[in-house]
Structure 1
Amino acid sequence: MSTSTYIYIFGEIETKIWGLTGRERLQRMLKAREQVILIEDVEKIPSGAVALFLNANFLFDARVLTALLGMEKKTALYSDENCPAAIRTDGDQAQQLLRNLNNNKSQNYRFVLLTIPRIGLKDLHIDFQQNLKKKDPPYILPISEENRPLLEQELFSGSYKGVTDLVTKWIWPVPAFWATHYCVRQGWQPNHVTYLSVVLAVLAGVAFWFGFFGIGLLMGWFMTFLDTVDGKLARVTVTSSRFGDVLDHGLDIIHPPLWYLAWGVGLTSTLTPIAGLGILMWLMLIGYVGGRLCEGVFQFWLAHFDMFIWHKWDSFNRLITARRNPNLLLLTYGWLTGQPDFGLLLVVAWHLISTGILVWRLMTGWKTKQKEGSLKSWLQDVDPVRDREIWAVKIFTRAPINLKKPYPVSSN
């Protein structure tokens, strides 16, 4: 039977990272956690209860919090600064611990916690992030006004999926960083950006339907950009809602095939109508649904991880496979060259080719599982630091932040 963990947050730094102090960020990160009770007075921690002290002067990786909450022994997690970032103890020692922390501020905590085992990040054994398809080093980083720009860049870059399409990975990060900053300054919520994305998705489809391909592409690309911004805004400000998540992901699934259909209808009013539109649309839909099904079957039947992080080859395939952004590139090429019909033909062909590749990978995965018993992601075997010279590691993982060197805005 699981027991509650009482959380006490200490630390006084008021520097804001993406609009939040360290204390505010920790409170938001812990709000959705089960069996967690935030307290302001350590005397309210029952005798024998699990107590976790968190230092708000540090920026915490969510994976570190998860690991700390899952531990069963007393321990103190230290950073390179020789300061305790987190202390796991019990209600019997909580008051004495707080007195020690308060009395040793000027000595940087060096004489605190002499009887509690000391650990570092490497002792937490944190694995790759399946939800973001990546493996980045976990972190606890000291917050200061001097470090603020680098910490904001770290949080932003860390919010990107490691394995994604080439537009999201290499074109959007820099403008999205500044757009996210603007949203924070204006007090906009992620759902505000998502609502605008919905409007633009509808307007782009309408423009395609009536043959206004240039205007539709402009709105479509802006919509895909905002689709990046809303997710990054949610992660860096620890702001999310069930409704916003469903709306965002539902929009991502539904609108692409409707755009392609609208593009085809729009061609009938131009000088380049396309023959056999109905057949082409069915082929596109088969490719679109088939690709999604392959991904789902792989993850729920063959492995616990995403299809695109099985082998390095699969991760490179994700850069260009038939998803919305690569297909928008094909449509844009068709419009720029005065061949909007050819652009649509490329989209249909790319759907079928991409799905054929995914079917092949699905069959290969099934055979491999029958032979070896289980599948393993290539990310499990790499170290972002040790293996930095490997091309795939450079592209799909990030090295740890170095607070002493410039840290460029990037999703890598």
Structure 2
Amino acid sequence: MPTTTYIYLFGDGEPKIWGLTGQERLRRMLSTQTNVTFVDSVDKIPSGAATLFLNANFLFDGRVLNALLGLDKKVALYSVDGCPAAIRTDGDYAQQLLRNLDKDKDHNYKFALLTIPRIGLDDLQIDFQQNLKKKDPPYILPINEANRTLLERELFSGSYKGVTDFITKWLWPEPAFWVTHYCVRKGWSPNHVTYLSIILAVTAGLAFWGGFYGIGLLMAWIMTFLDTVDGKLARVTVTSSRLGDVLDHGLDIIHPPLWYLAWGAGLIGTAEAIPGFEILIFLMFVGYIGGRLCEGVFQFSLAPFDIFIWRRLDSFSRLITARRNPNLLLLTFSWLIGQPALGLALVVVWHLISTGVLIWRLMIAWLTKHKEGSLRSWLQDIDPAHDRDQWAVKIFTRAPLDIRSLSTKSLH
């Protein structure tokens, strides 16, 4: 049976970052962990129980918290400025540790932990982030008013997938940052944004079906933008729900082929009607479903990560592969030149080409695993800080934040 870890928070973690104090953020981040119990007094920690003191005056990477929970020894994790951000101890030492921290009049805590082994981020075993298809350096960053804007930028940038389509990667981030800020100020949840996205997805499809392509495209582009916002809002505010997750991912899977079907249906009975419409739609669904199946087979049968982060080629392919945003760009282009039928044909062709590439990559992956025994993502073999001369590293990873640019004044 897994051991319960008792969590004691010290430090107030002001000012708020994305609407949350340091203590609020840590509680939300650890709320999904099993066998974790928060205590507001060290007296409630049983003798010998695994205990983790967390300094709420730091912004923690979720991977760092997971690594700390996985340790089974006494250690103190220090930031680069020499302040302890986390202390792994036990219930027998918790009271003495708290007394030492309270006696530190300067609240720098540098002399309160002399008997506990000292470690840094480099001593933690932290791998790439499969869910966000990226590899960023882990962090613990000091929270104070001087750093607030920089930390919000860093947290927002860190919520982005490293490998995604070029529109999401390069066009949406700046406007999404400000819209996400607006949502936080108004107290809107990610689900509120997702509900609006669903409405826009449906109305865009109806507009396409009626042949009102201009209005439909406007709503479709707003919907794709909000699809970025709801995910970033959820991550920066550590807000998630099972319903929101199902709605968001379900919408992402279901609506694109229905849009293309509606687009084609809007041409029926017009001069732009496509001969062999049924065959074209059939091929579109073959391409769409085939591509999704290739991705699923790779991840569930060949490797524990996404096919688009296997090799550098696959990551570059993800920038332009037949997903919603690149396809929407094809439809927009065709509408602008007055040939909406061409747009549907281009989408179908691009689906078939992209799925053909995925089938080829799947076969290569199967042969590689059969020969070498396992597959390894290219992200596992790079250092985002030291390999920035490589184009793939520049494009798909972020440069580490310069810790020297952060102020440690009024940290405690």
Q: Counterpart of 2:25?
A: 25
Q: Counterpart of 2:316?
A: 316
Q: Is the 8 A contact 1:147 1:403 kept in 2?
A: no
Are 1:281 and 2:292 an aligned pair?
no
- What SS does the corresponding residue of 1:106 show, helix, strand or coil? coil
**Shift, 1:110, TM fit:** 1.6
CA distance in 2, matches of 1:404, 1:271: 64
Q: Deviations over 1:153-177 (max 9, x none)?
A: 1110000110000010000000000
Q: Deviations over 1:64-93 (max 9, x none)?
A: 000000001000000012110000000001
CA distance in 2, matches of 1:179, 1:288: 31
Mapping of 1:110-259 within 5 angstroms? Answer: 110-259=110-259
- What SS does the corresponding residue of 1:86 show, helix, strand or coil? strand
Q: Is the 8 A contact 2:134 2:163 kept in 1?
A: yes
Q: Counterpart of 2:409?
A: none
CA distance in 1, matches of 2:166, 2:404: 30
**Shift, 1:38, TM fit:** 0.4
Pick closer, same or farther for the CA change 1:291–1:232 going to 2, 3 Å.
same
Q: Deviations over 1:243-301 (max 9, x none)?
A: 10000000000000000000000011433111111000000000000000000000111
CA distance in 1, matches of 2:3, 2:303: 31
Number of corresponding residues: 406
Are 1:40 and 2:50 an aligned pair?
no
CA distance in 2, matches of 1:129, 1:372: 23
Q: Counterpart of 1:410?
A: none
**Shift, 1:400, TM fit:** 1.2
**Shift, 1:399, TM fit:** 1.4
CA distance in 2, matches of 1:395, 1:311: 14
Mapping of 1:57-68 within 5 angstroms? Answer: 57-68=57-68
Q: Is the 8 A contact 2:12 2:21 kept in 1?
A: no
The one-letter amino acid paired with 1:155 is L
CA distance in 2, matches of 1:249, 1:258: 15
CA distance in 2, matches of 1:192, 1:203: 17
Q: Deviations over 1:169-189 (max 9, x none)?
A: 000000000000000000000
Q: Is the 8 A contact 2:234 2:240 kept in 1?
A: yes
CA distance in 1, matches of 2:402, 2:176: 22
> What RMSD over aligned residues (CA atoms) do the two structures have, in Å?
1.0
CA distance in 2, matches of 1:301, 1:13: 44
Mapping of 1:285-300 within 5 angstroms? Answer: 285-300=285-300
- TM-score w.r.t. the length of structure 2 is 0.97
The one-letter amino acid paired with 2:355 is T
**Shift, 1:107, TM fit:** 5.4
CA distance in 2, matches of 1:209, 1:93: 68
Q: Counterpart of 2:342?
A: 342
- What SS does the corresponding residue of 1:240 show, helix, strand or coil? coil
Ranges in structure 1 where 5+ consecutive residues have no aligned partner: 407-412
Q: Is the 8 A contact 1:211 1:269 kept in 2?
A: no
The one-letter amino acid paired with 2:163 is V
The one-letter amino acid paired with 1:337 is I
Q: Is the 8 A contact 1:54 1:85 kept in 2?
A: yes
CA distance in 1, matches of 2:321, 2:307: 12
**Shift, 1:32, TM fit:** 1.0
Are 1:307 and 2:307 an aligned pair?
yes
Q: Is the 8 A contact 1:77 1:118 kept in 2?
A: yes
CA distance in 2, matches of 1:24, 1:227: 26
The one-letter amino acid paired with 1:86 is A
Q: Counterpart of 1:375?
A: 375
CA distance in 2, matches of 1:184, 1:140: 23
- What SS does the corresponding residue of 1:338 show, helix, strand or coil? coil
The one-letter amino acid paired with 2:211 is G
Ranges in structure 2 where 5+ consecutive residues have no aligned partner: 407-412
**Shift, 1:13, TM fit:** 3.5
Q: Counterpart of 2:71?
A: 71
More moved, 96-105 vs 352-361: 96-105
Q: Deviations over 1:2-36 (max 9, x none)?
A: 11000000002420000000000001111111000
Q: Is the 8 A contact 1:210 1:269 kept in 2?
A: no
**Shift, 1:112, TM fit:** 1.2
The one-letter amino acid paired with 1:104 is D
CA distance in 1, matches of 2:356, 2:342: 21
- What SS does the corresponding residue of 2:160 show, helix, strand or coil? coil
- TM-score w.r.t. the length of structure 1 is 0.97
Q: Is the 8 A contact 1:302 1:366 kept in 2?
A: yes
Q: Counterpart of 1:409?
A: none
Q: Is the 8 A contact 1:150 1:403 kept in 2?
A: no
**Shift, 1:105, TM fit:** 4.2
CA distance in 1, matches of 2:107, 2:2: 37
Q: Deviations over 1:311-336 (max 9, x none)?
A: 00000000000000000000001001
- What SS does the corresponding residue of 1:275 show, helix, strand or coil? coil
Q: Is the 8 A contact 1:30 1:36 kept in 2?
A: yes
Q: Is the 8 A contact 2:13 2:58 kept in 1?
A: no
Are 1:9 and 2:32 an aligned pair?
no
Q: Counterpart of 2:53?
A: 53
Q: Deviations over 1:98-156 (max 9, x none)?
A: 11111114051121111111000000021100011000000000001010001001110
Q: Is the 8 A contact 1:211 1:270 kept in 2?
A: no
